Structure 1
Amino acid sequence: MKAYHLGLIGAAIALFVIFEMLRRRRLREKYAITWVVLAVVIVLLAAFPRILFWAADLTGVVVPANLLFFGASLLLLAMNVQLSSEVSRLEDKVRTLAEELGLQRLRIEQIERAGEAGEAERAERAEPSDGP
């Protein structure tokens, strides 16, 4: 089996997994677009390997596989940075929500205490006094 066939099979499996994850709602569309584009690029490179040789000649890279690995490394770095920023944003949201929840619980406890104190005060006033 040629490496190109392996690339085509790998891209087909990747596309299947991506669409299956989308269907089961385990992957959001904004992330799926990146993976679908990557799979299409893999299909193009596997179907037309001359594209990689042309790009290597254009950039002055002697070994086309080195250009492929360099591009893959840059892509992984970009995705890591993007996902890290997403995680940071979500952590901020979770912290804000946790603080808001704590404030709401405090307000509820204060209202409950005020209600209990008001009931106790009303109960004292309603009790008949044992007078002389």
Structure 2
Amino acid sequence: MTIYFLSVILSFLFLVIVFELVRLQKLKEQYSLLWILFGVILFIISLNVKFIEALASWLGVKYAPAMLFLFGLLFCFAFILHLTMVVTKLSNQVLRLTQELTIRKEKESRHGQND
């Protein structure tokens, strides 16, 4: 079994797992799109051995299948960056909601004292 064949099998299984997680509602559709895109790209690249070898040669990579790992690593970095942006946005929303709730409670407590 070659590394390319193993890569095709693993990328296919990865896609099946992502679709199953979406079906079971363990993964939101908005996040699954990136994972599905990654799985499809990895699957297509794994099927096209000549492309991998030509790209590896062009980049000076001695072991062409290492390009598959490079694609995976770059995707993980991009996805981590995306998730960091999502967490930052959610943190800002939580901070704003907390401030609004505190202001509302303060207004209610002052209003209750005036009665």
Common topology (TM > 0.5): yes
CA distance in 2, matches of 1:38, 1:6: 16
Higher relative contact order (CA 8 A, sep 6+): 2
CA positional deviation for 1:69: 2.8
Aligned equivalent of 1:58: 58
Aligned equivalent of 1:79: 79
CA distance in 1, matches of 2:2, 2:67: 20
Please tell me whether Structure 1 or Structure 2 has the larger radius of gyration of its CA atoms. Answer: 1
Aligned equivalent of 2:6: 6
CA distance in 2, matches of 1:26, 1:113: 47
TM-score (structure 1 length as normaliser): 0.73
CA positional deviation for 1:77: 1.6
CA distance in 1, matches of 2:93, 2:113: 30
Q: How does 1:87-98 map to 2 (within 5 A)?
A: 87-98=87-98
CA distance in 2, matches of 1:81, 1:43: 23
Residue 71 and residue 16 in structure 1: after superposition, are their counterparts in 2 closer, same or farther (change >3 A)? closer
Which secondary structure state, in structure 2, belongs to the residue aligned with residue 64 of structure 1? coil
Aligned equivalent of 1:33: 33
How many residues of Structure 1 are paired with residues of Structure 2 in the alignment? 115
Aligned equivalent of 1:69: 69
Aligned equivalent of 1:23: 23
Aligned equivalent of 1:46: 46
Which secondary structure state, in structure 2, belongs to the residue aligned with residue 82 of structure 1? helix
CA positional deviation for 1:4: 3.1
| Amino acid in the other structure paired with 1:59 | L
Aligned equivalent of 1:106: 106
Residue 69 and residue 40 in structure 1: after superposition, are their counterparts in 2 closer, same or farther (change >3 A)? same
CA positional deviation for 1:95: 0.6
Q: Give the percent of matched residue pairs that are identical in Structure 1 and Structure 2.
A: 23
Q: Give the RMSD, CA atoms, in angstroms.
A: 2.0
| Amino acid in the other structure paired with 2:24 | R
